[in-house]
């Protein structure tokens, strides 16, 4: 398994491509838009430069990693020889189902189809293919080149052979694979998203301010990042999408998104990527300056 196609050149997609390429897999990075591919390669290059500066890799390692990545705007061409496809497109059910229908048509019969989805049912994704036993969840954490965890999600029909192959592959990437069953939010987001949502509710109810909430969780619970800063880092739109999937999947009000989160997403305040969320990133790329809306 040396040819790996990655669908989507955004934050997760370029991180996944970077990781596979660094471990000498031939990566086909696919996105509909050349501008997105260019931006993805620029991000990978910048991250590799940072690793060279820290002397964790050499300049030769960097060049070899970049050489292992080829970009495509055509899905059929990009997956023609793939042994594994990792889909890392937007967290949208309809989009993912369309992608997997196309992958099922375009990929060789023995290609494993994996999704980096953080909440959507692997069983549902697999149902639109003719190879449900070869469909699996491979949920990397952000930033992918650094974070060790990979949640491996078995759909209802995922074969043990497929699971074992992906488990071993994850170990070859120097990751720690953890087996998870297919329920909304899996493990990571089933626990994380309600915490983030409760932090937003705490702010919404006026219990404390943005920095105060984050400081309590960092100093009191030893979290490396406060939940509101983390929400900004993930993207408030992504948090909202995951909460909606969990709310619809469980029909439990504890997963209902906070109205403040809903309004912020509708207003385009998506966190770091939009320049403003709970913090203002216009002058500082770190979560240090609280957004004006939340200052007293």
Q: Is 189 a known active-site residue? A: yes
Is 139 annotated as catalytic? yes
Clarify whether 161 is annotated catalytic.
no
3-state secondary structure 29-92: EECCCHHHHHHHHHHHHHHHHHHHHCCCCCHHHHHHHHHCEEEECCHHHHCCCCCEEEECCCCC
Task: Pick the catalytic residue from 118, 119, 170, 241.
Answer: 118
- Rounded Cα distance between 8 and 224, Å, is 28
Neighbours of 68 (CB within 10 A): 19
Beta strands in 221-260 (DSSP E): none
| Per annotation, catalytic residue among 3, 14, 116, 151 | 151
Question: What is the greatest pairwise CA distance in the chain?
Answer: 60
Is 151 catalytic? The answer is yes
Q: Using DSSP, state whether 227 is helix, strand or coil.
A: helix
Q: Which two tokens stand for residue 176?
A: 């720690």
Catalytic residue among 14, 189, 197, 241: 189
Residues 83, 116, 139, 197: which is the catalytic one? 139
Active site residues: 118, 139, 151, 189
């Amino acid at each position: 398994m040396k040819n790996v196609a990655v669908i989507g050149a955004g934050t997760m997609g370029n991180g996944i491509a970077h990781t596979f390429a660094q471990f000498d897999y031939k990566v086909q990075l696919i996105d509909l838009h050349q501008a997105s591919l260019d931006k993805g390669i620029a991000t990978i290059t910048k991250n590799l430069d940072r690793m060279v500066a820290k002397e964790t890799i050499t300049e030769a390692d960097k060049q070899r990693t970049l050489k292992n990545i080829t970009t495509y705007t055509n899905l059929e061409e990009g997956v023609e020889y793939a042994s594994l496809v990792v889909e890392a497109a937007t967290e949208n059910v309809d989009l993912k189902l369309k992608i997997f229908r196309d992958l099922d048509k375009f990929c060789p019969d023995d290609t494993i189809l994996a999704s980096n989805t953080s909440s959507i049912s692997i069983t549902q994704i697999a149902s639109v293919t003719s190879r449900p036993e070869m469909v699996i969840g491979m949920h990397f954490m952000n930033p992918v080149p650094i974070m060790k965890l990979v949640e491996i999600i078995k759909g209802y029909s995922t074969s043990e052979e497929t699971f074992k192959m992906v488990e071993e592959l994850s170990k070859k990437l120097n990751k720690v694979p953890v087996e998870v069953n297919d329920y909304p939010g899996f493990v990571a987001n089933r626990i994380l998203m309600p915490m983030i949502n409760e932090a937003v509710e705490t702010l919404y109810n006026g219990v404390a301010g943005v920095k105060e909430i984050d400081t309590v969780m960092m100093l009191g619970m030893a979290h490396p990042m406060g939940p509101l800063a983390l929400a900004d880092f993930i993207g408030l739109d992504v948090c909202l999408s995951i909460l909606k999937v969990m709310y619809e999947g469980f029909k439990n009000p504890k997963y209902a998104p906070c109205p403040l989160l809903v309004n912020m997403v509708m207003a385009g305040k998506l966190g770091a990527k939009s320049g403003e969320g709970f913090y203002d990133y216009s002058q500082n790329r770190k979560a240090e300056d609280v957004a004006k809306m939340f200052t007293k």
